[in-house]
Structure 1
Amino acid sequence: MPTKPLVREPIRIGVVDASAVIGELRQLHEEAEDPDVERMPGDDELFGALLYAEKHAHALKRHSPEAQQTAALKRVQLWEYLREQSEIHQARAIDDARAAGAQWVQLAPVLAVAVPSAAYNKAKRLKAVELLDETPRAARVRRTPEAVLKAERRLAQEEAAERRAQEAARRRHELLVPVATRLLEEREALVRDEDVDYWLEEMEVVLPHCRTPLQMVSLTRYLDAALRALTKLEKQTARSVALTEDARLALAAALELQDASVT
């Protein structure tokens, strides 16, 4: 039977400045004149520092009960943080093992489970730590294999859609320079006003140096503005702004590229 989904989203510690909290623990031990405090691991050695603080908790007896409580609560917080982080990193290690060809039967003993199916389920539950569901507030994915698979499928679809969008943008950028160049070449065969001339001149300035994504964006904006001005002029005169067939084709290509960028 599938595992029953969790009804409530689990509360998590989340981001913690672990080094700063270890520093606060160290200060409490120094103020209590812990004779061994110099042996306490560095602030960036979380696990070792926590083991030290646990072993030398008695050294805080010179402190007030409130200070002792504060130190103990900081240890609780850091152990919870460490546990959450270990789940994230263990899930990544499993991904690397699978990518290297490890089978679930090999992962079972190192995940402390008896059978491959249990290793698979445990791996999926660990994966939930890094995933968000599709709700507006982006809650954590429930720790069930079914919920994780659903989230992974959704992420794969989103990544595929993003790749398609990037490829479409790349193709538009490849067409942008020749389309803009062709429109400028037919400038004298277009009916123009001050707005049209202004935006065509802006295009002419940026076009020879159009290499970076930012320059491409600028050229796109200028081309869009020129097309808006030409369309407006066409509506005002109730006549085509293209005076020749070549100009008509150049304008049609630019409008087609504009429509593709909108969709």
Structure 2
Amino acid sequence: MTKRARRTSQPTKPLLKAPLRIGSLDAGAVVSELRKMHEDAEDPDVERMPADDELFGALMYAEKHADALRRQTTAVQRAAALKRVRLWEYLREQIDVHQLRAVDDARQAGAQWIELAPALAVGAPSAAYNKSKRLRAVELIDETPRAHRLRRTPEAVLKAERRLALDDAAERRAQEEARRRHKLLVPVVERLLEQREFLRRDDDVDYWLEEIEAVLPHCRTPLQMVSLNRYLDAALRALSRLEKSTARPSALTEDAGLALAAAFELQGGTAGTDRAVE
């Protein structure tokens, strides 16, 4: 019998596995459910159980008073214990985020890595720095299509931070370009709207011109500016399709033709710049 060849595991396989996380959770509601279980079990000390939003204290109480549920069914005891497990895991996920914020506050207040080392339970300033980078991995997402969590290594975090810095710079450039282009776009769009009655239109053309008219007075953010630009593109495509289907020019007057030509030129096209006028 031929022995099946052993499949070699890929070194990156553990890194590609999406981690399981509790994520968003209404912890207060789960604590309330635990409280109800203790009340139903007639726990004599249940009034001493901390409030629903005091997660750590409530968990410590539930652990200390687990015997109060002994007279309940095993299903109830199991459910209560599972709720505690889930809440502890949720709490664990929150710790790194909040510890990182404390580290950032300490650094902003002038704390040196040598001072942070004992607070982070490490033996050297470099180890404190590296641990802070691993903590930051919780807040960063890698560049994989499925948006996996980062590997908790300083190198992976630095790479992600550089990528995010580049993304932020590109976004700022795009927004600045949108603002610059918007200054050129507004007068062209206003002129086109003024000549609307002298353009050959159908329902599609009218729809996009109405969208332009609606968004134009409220363009303040880069996103709104991009939307205006897209609406103009859509209106020009609709005008071109109508002209092609009717074999008749879109502009009915010379002024309308000039307004249409300016819009096509701004959008980077040459079509429409020398259209005939009926």
TM-score bracket relative to the smaller structure: 0.7 to 0.9
Question: How is 1:7-26 mapped onto 2 (pairs within 5 angstroms)?
Answer: 7-8=14-15, 9=17, 10-26=19-35
Tell me by how many angstroms 1:201 deviates. 11
- The structure 2 residue matched to 1:163, chosen from 161, 169, 172, is 172
Aligned-residue RMSD, C-alpha:
3.9
Check the 8 A contact 1:199/1:223 in 2, yes or no: no
Distance 2:219 2:69 in 1: 60
| Structure 1 pair 115–234 and aligned structure 2 pair: CA distance change class (3 A) | same
**Alignment: residue pair count:** 253
Question: How is 1:1-263 mapped onto 2 (pairs within 5 angstroms)?
Answer: 7-8=14-15, 9=17, 10-183=19-192, 192-194=199-201, 202=209, 206=213, 210-212=217-219, 220=229, 223-228=232-237, 233=243, 253-259=262-268
SS at the partner of 2:21? coil
Percent same amino acid at aligned positions?
65
| Structure 1 pair 90–243 and aligned structure 2 pair: CA distance change class (3 A) | same
TM-score normalised to the size of structure 1? 0.76
SS at the partner of 2:152? coil
Instruction: Report the residue type matching 1:211 in the other structure.
Output: H
Measured against aligned partners, the alpha-carbon deviations of 1:153-183 in whole angstroms (never above 9, x if no partner) come to: 1222222222222222222222222222345
Q: Which moved more, 1:38-47 or 1:90-99?
A: 90-99
Measured against aligned partners, the alpha-carbon deviations of 1:127-152 in whole angstroms (never above 9, x if no partner) come to: 11122211111111011111111111
Larger RCO of the pair (alpha carbons < 8 Å, separation 6+) = 1
Structure 1 gaps, min length 5: none
Structure 2 gaps, min length 5: 1-10, 270-278
TM-score normalised to the size of structure 2? 0.73
Check the 8 A contact 1:210/1:216 in 2, yes or no: no
Q: Which moved more, 1:38-47 or 1:60-69?
A: 60-69
Distance 1:253 1:56 in 2: 78
Distance 1:238 1:180 in 2: 23
Distance 2:226 2:53 in 1: 44
SS at the partner of 2:218? coil
